[in-house]
Every structure is written in structure tokens, then in C-alpha cells.
């Protein structure tokens, strides 16, 4: 616990002034920002970007992390995982309601969006397997977008 530079009483770590004598405290030398991705290997960070439904959070953290700022492979997986989640949202928020308003009978209006969601879910599982084996795999359309996003940031 730090002490006041004037009277010697204890002060808080971030106190600008002493609570007893009112003396201004020197600014504490704060260390470098905390890197939440410190102990994670690049392969694990890439793998976590493909967790169904929740991988978008890891993708954003990886893209914002200073540790993986120059690692093109990890950034590629982060972008591709993010684009896969956006595809899921498009199917869920756009295609499902669009087919719900169609004039087809009840069994058909959920078949196509359900198949699309199954394909996206299988793509997530496929990418988890490929990434766990440390293989680089580019999904047909999303991989090109991810590659372009990585190249634009260099």
C-alpha cells in the first residue's frame, strides 16, 4: 500500500490527493496495459475464433490484441470466424423471416433456413478440426474476404 509523500499516511493506489493532509500525490507509474491473450498460443487463439455462436467475441479480442497484431495467420482465422458468424446472423435475421412470410406451407418455410444454419454450424466444426491440426483452410467466399481484410491491415 502506498503512503503519502507529505504526511506519510496510507493512501490508495490511484489517489491523486492525500485524504489526511490534502497533498498532491505523484502519478503512479502504471505498467503496460494488460494483455488478455498472454498465455494463449496462436493455434489456440485461432481455434477459439470458431466456437459456434460465441467465437465472434474471441475474434474481436484477437483482432484488438497487440500480441497478434502482426500474426497474419491468426488474424485470418479471426476474420474468417467473424465472417462466419455474420453469415449466421444473415441467415437467422434475414432469410428466416423472409421465408416465414412466404406463401409456402408450414413444413417448407423453415427447411431452407434450417439447412443453411446446419451448413454454417458444420463449417464451424470443420474449421475447429482443421485449425486444431494446425492446417490453413480457406472457406470458399468467407476465406477470400478474410484474406483481403488481413492484407488491407498490413
Range of the domain at 26: 1-31
User: What is residue 110's predicted lDDT score, i.e. its pLDDT?
Assistant: 75
Residues 146 and 74: beta-carbon distance below 8 Å? no
The answer to whether residues 49 and 59 touch, using CB atoms and an 8 Å cutoff, is: yes
- CA-CA-CA-CA torsion sign (53, 59, 64, 67): positive
| pLDDT by position in tens, the chain (length 154) | 688 888 888 888 888 888 899 888 887 544 456 667 778 999 999 999 999 989 999 999 999 988 899 999 999 999 999 999 999 999 999 988 887 766 655 666 678 888 999 999 999 999 999 999 999 999 999 999 999 999 998 7
117/97 Cα distance (integer angstroms): 14
CB contact burial 41-56 (16+ within 10 A = b; e otherwise): ebeebbbbbbbeeebb
Within a domain: 73: yes
Do 104 and 148 reside in the same domain of the chain? yes
Question: Structurally, how many domains does the chain consist of?
Answer: 2
The two counts, helices (H) then strands (E), for the chain are 6, 0
Same domain membership, residue 60 and residue 26: no
Q: What is the pLDDT of residue 29?
A: 47
Q: Are residues 146 and 80 in the same domain?
A: yes
- Asked if 71 and 97 sit in the same domain, the reply is yes
Alpha-carbon distance of 92 to 135, in angstroms, equals: 29
Amino acid at each position: 500500500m502506498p503512503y503519502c509523500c507529505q504526511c506519510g499516511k496510507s493512501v490508495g493506489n490511484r489517489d491523486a490527493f492525500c485524504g489526511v493532509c490534502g497533498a498532491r500525490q505523484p502519478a503512479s507509474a502504471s505498467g503496460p496495459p494488460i494483455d488478455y491473450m498472454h498465455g494463449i498460443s496462436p493455434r489456440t487463439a485461432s481455434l477459439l475464433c470458431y466456437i459456434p455462436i460465441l467465437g465472434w467475441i474471441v475474434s474481436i479480442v484477437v483482432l484488438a490484441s497487440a500480441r497478434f497484431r502482426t500474426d497474419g495467420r491468426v488474424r485470418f482465422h479471426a476474420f474468417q470466424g467473424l465472417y462466419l458468424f455474420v453469415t449466421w446472423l444473415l441467415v437467422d435475421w434475414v432469410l428466416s423471416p423472409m421465408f416465414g412470410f412466404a406463401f409456402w406451407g408450414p413444413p417448407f418455410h423453415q427447411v431452407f433456413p434450417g439447412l443453411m444454419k446446419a451448413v454454417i454450424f458444420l463449417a464451424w466444426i470443420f474449421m475447429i478440426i482443421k485449425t486444431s491440426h494446425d492446417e490453413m483452410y480457406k472457406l470458399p467466399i468467407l476465406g477470400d474476404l478474410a484474406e483481403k481484410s488481413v492484407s488491407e491491415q498490413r
